[in-house]
Structure 1
Amino acid sequence: MNPRHPRADGPRRRTFTPDQKLAHLTAYEEACRQQQGGAYLRREGLYSSLITEWRRLRDAGVLDGKKPGQAVGKPSKDQAEIARLRRELEQTQQRLDRTETALEIMGKARALLEETFQERGYRDQAEEALMNAYTELTVHGLSTRAAAGLTGIARSTAARRRRRSGPPVPREVVPANRLDCTERAHVLAVLNSAEFVDSTPIQVFATLLDRGVYLCSISTMYRILAEHAQVRERRRQARHPARAVPELVADGPGQVYTWDITKLAGPTRGVYYDAYVMIDIYSRYIVGAHVHARESGPLAQEMMAEVFGIHGIPQVVHADRGTSMTSKSVATLLADLEVTRSHSRPKVSNDNPYSEAWFKTLKYAPVFPERFGSLAGARGFIDEFVSWYNHEHHHQGLGLHTPADVHYGLAAAKANERADVLAAARAAHPERFATNAPPKVLDLPAAAWINKPVESTTDDDHQQVELPAA
């Protein structure tokens, strides 16, 4: 954990000028007419909530004439009403255009079919005409279900034909300038000769070039050596001593807690608040979340004392090597309570994965603000987000259970209820299920690990903390 504030030249969140918002709206609406609206949002990294907000501002006329960096502001009551009426008019016009287009396309298709079926043996041409009509209908905004009803082409048939008509996968082409096997063997023999065995490819290239000999490029020499696993660091460089890998496992709640501190941008540039967050790694339940104006060991000790008083004393507390995490006040508290301390290795970011993953969930959420107006506002937001995460967020790593259900032992009952729902659905429509096994995404892991060891790893290379039965 770096105690300093983020650098002024560090990464910044993406912002949009009024012109960019209008351009995204135009492109998104064009993509929607081609049934590609969702693809456009994913491709551009936008949320549908942004499109809704920008469309409301555009329809109210708030974005017109705004310069980059100029505040947009909220639409007035009259502007909002005008925007609503304008949107209804546009939707009505779009429905009218789709209806007229569908009637025109189906009229042409029907005329072509009547002409085609005057003679026998033209079934392929008739199906092609209907398929073309289906494609035109979907391009002009009709849903695939409506297009299928008008043309009689099943949606699965249309999708299969579109996949079949895709371009062929090109074969890998061998470059014309590639050295053949004999030439590559000769280059390898020269590099491994007694004269050049201790020289780098760059030195070999320069020496041979001065002698009037050119074998290949420097990068080709490196590629040939890499193909034979002969590219290794041989210089006498200082190495950091090997650190023990922290290996922690929890098969129930209340065993292993992990915690970290993240920065929250304040009301002005250079002002930040510090969010102290502690997580139960088994249930992913946020057992403690405090926001303060600074980072310090005594504040961390205060949070831990409160968490331990509510949720009980864990067996292990894991954190990185920040100043607050290794402070004397925190170490004294954990030692007095006989809690095992565990720390990440230096410069290894993924030794504290649960805290880092939660911070990303927090800061990548659509509701996360760019700045907090006050310390009280930051505390209120974190409290609301933690409540939503604990009790409403269906975690993919927990079999789509909420952290609260797993933490308080309600997951088993919920799993039985879900199994009954799936069994009823399978009994009603057995043809829709390829297997009797439940979806793997609903499996609740038996244990949560930090650095789960590989079976072939020896005990001497790792420091594993074994927990007694809860």
Structure 2
Amino acid sequence: MAAGPADAGERAQPGRARAGAAAVEQPAVRRRRSGADLRGVAGPGRVRGLDRHHVPAPTRNKQVRERRRQARHPARQRPELVADRPGQVYTRDITKLAGPVKGSYFDAYMMIDIYSRYIVGARVHARESGPLAEAMIRDVFDTHGVPHVVHAHRGTSMTSKSVADLLEDLTVTRSHSPPKMSNDNPYSEAWFKTLKYAPVFPDRFASLAQARAFMTDFVTWCNHAHRHAGIGLHTPAEVHYGRHHRVRAGREDTLATARAVHPERFSTTRLLPKILDLPEQVWTNKPEPQRQAA
């Protein structure tokens, strides 16, 4: 039975409609011809039943390990700085001081001479910035002289361009902490612990003026009254300004007089106890002695 005009119209499609249907079907054809559908098809560069990009698991794991081994970075080295007298190495750091309300802080800038333990600079500001750090460093250098090395962590103010340019102009060697290493600046960290564990340290500071007044008084006490065990029970000011020789001579005279009156109380002929000696050298991170091969 011959088809009617209606049936013929339903089967006949214009050229434009046929092109649209082909365009819709094309992605499906591509997907069917992907690697997942052609695994069993042999051809150039292909093995039947095995995709060209397939790598056995043991081989792949070995390749990953090899790439990781080659990409492994060398171990981070802590800076090993040494000083045998004041004025050679300064370290600087910043700590937070709690403000009047929760979430508010003041920034305390500090710079210390690692040999004498003298606080050569201390400032408190409402924020951390490179220009503020540069201004403190200029004041310190004008008062105490230019050191050989300045060590600091990698904070924004410590690595700012203004500070870097100042140190470069004065030919001061810059030293910075390795990334993600917080225990390479022992003198600054120890002083911050002395500050924050002091009985007079408040939980919060009511204002920036109060924080600055407290810091001034505390730094004065540390420099001129605190007897530091690391420098022979001298004050940092005595060592920094070279007055420790007179103090040591007075100690020797006192002990010699006591020894002459009560010799039975002394079991050694040493003039002073070892704890009263100044160190010959101080290190930020003293290298460990290398073991000799057996």
Q: Indicate the TM-score class for this superposition, using the shorter chain for normalisation.
A: 0.7 to 0.9
Q: What's the counterpart of residue 452 of structure 1?
A: 286
Q: Deviations over 1:321-368 (max 9, x none)?
A: 111111111111101111000111222222111000000000000110
Q: What's the counterpart of residue 247 of structure 1?
A: 80
Q: Deviations over 1:236-265 (max 9, x none)?
A: 687443234311111111111000000000
The one-letter amino acid of 1:331's match is: A
Q: What's the counterpart of residue 404 of structure 1?
A: 237
Q: What's the counterpart of residue 111 of structure 2?
A: 278
Q: What's the counterpart of residue 431 of structure 1?
A: 264
Indicate which of 180, 187, 195 corresponds to 1:347.
180
- 3-state SS, counterpart of residue 360 of structure 1: helix
Q: What's the counterpart of residue 317 of structure 1?
A: 150
The Cα of 1:443 is off from its aligned counterpart by: 1.0
Q: How does 1:56-455 map to 2 (within 5 A)?
A: 239-437=72-270, 438-455=272-289
Q: Percent identity?
A: 70
Report how many residues are paired: 224
Q: Structure 1 pair 298/356, CA: closer, same or farther in 2 (3 Å)?
A: same
State the distance in 2 between where 1:350 and 1:430 align: 46
State the distance in 1 between where 2:92 and 2:291 align: 27
The one-letter amino acid of 1:445's match is: P
State the distance in 1 between where 2:230 and 2:252 align: 18
State the distance in 2 between where 1:361 and 1:374 align: 22
Q: What's the counterpart of residue 64 of structure 1?
A: none
Gap runs ≥5 in structure 2: 1-67
State the distance in 1 between where 2:181 and 2:258 align: 47
State the distance in 1 between where 2:239 and 2:100 align: 37
The one-letter amino acid of 2:153's match is: D
- 3-state SS, counterpart of residue 349 of structure 1: coil
Q: Structure 1 pair 255/271, CA: closer, same or farther in 2 (3 Å)?
A: same
- 3-state SS, counterpart of residue 318 of structure 1: strand
The one-letter amino acid of 1:330's match is: V
Gap runs ≥5 in structure 1: 1-235, 459-470
Q: Deviations over 1:390-447 (max 9, x none)?
A: 0000000000000000000011110111111111112222222221222111011012
- 3-state SS, counterpart of residue 346 of structure 1: coil
Q: Deviations over 1:134-158 (max 9, x none)?
A: xxxxxxxxxxxxxxxxxxxxxxxxx
- 3-state SS, counterpart of residue 267 of structure 2: coil
The one-letter amino acid of 1:342's match is: S
State the distance in 1 between where 2:242 and 2:73 align: 44
State the distance in 2 between where 1:402 and 1:307 align: 19
- 3-state SS, counterpart of residue 350 of structure 1: coil
State the distance in 1 between where 2:266 and 2:156 align: 54
The one-letter amino acid of 2:261's match is: A
State the distance in 1 between where 2:230 and 2:284 align: 14
- 3-state SS, counterpart of residue 247 of structure 1: coil
State the distance in 2 between where 1:349 and 1:434 align: 44
Q: Deviations over 1:101-152 (max 9, x none)?
A: xxxxxxxxxxxxxxxxxxxxxxxxxxxxxxxxxxxxxxxxxxxxxxxxxxxx
RMSD after superposition: 1.8
> Which structure has the greater CA radius of gyration?
2
Determine which structure has the larger helix proportion and give its number.
1
The Cα of 1:457 is off from its aligned counterpart by: 8.2
State the distance in 2 between where 1:398 and 1:385 align: 19
State the distance in 1 between where 2:119 and 2:203 align: 23
State the distance in 1 between where 2:99 and 2:80 align: 36
Instruction: Give the alignment's TM-score, normalised by structure 2.
Output: 0.73
Which of the pair has the greater relative contact order for Cα pairs under 8 Å at 6+ separation?
Answer: 2
Q: Deviations over 1:164-219 (max 9, x none)?
A: xxxxxxxxxxxxxxxxxxxxxxxxxxxxxxxxxxxxxxxxxxxxxxxxxxxxxxxx
Q: Structure 1 pair 284/426, CA: closer, same or farther in 2 (3 Å)?
A: same
State the distance in 2 between where 1:343 and 1:296 align: 17
- 3-state SS, counterpart of residue 254 of structure 1: coil
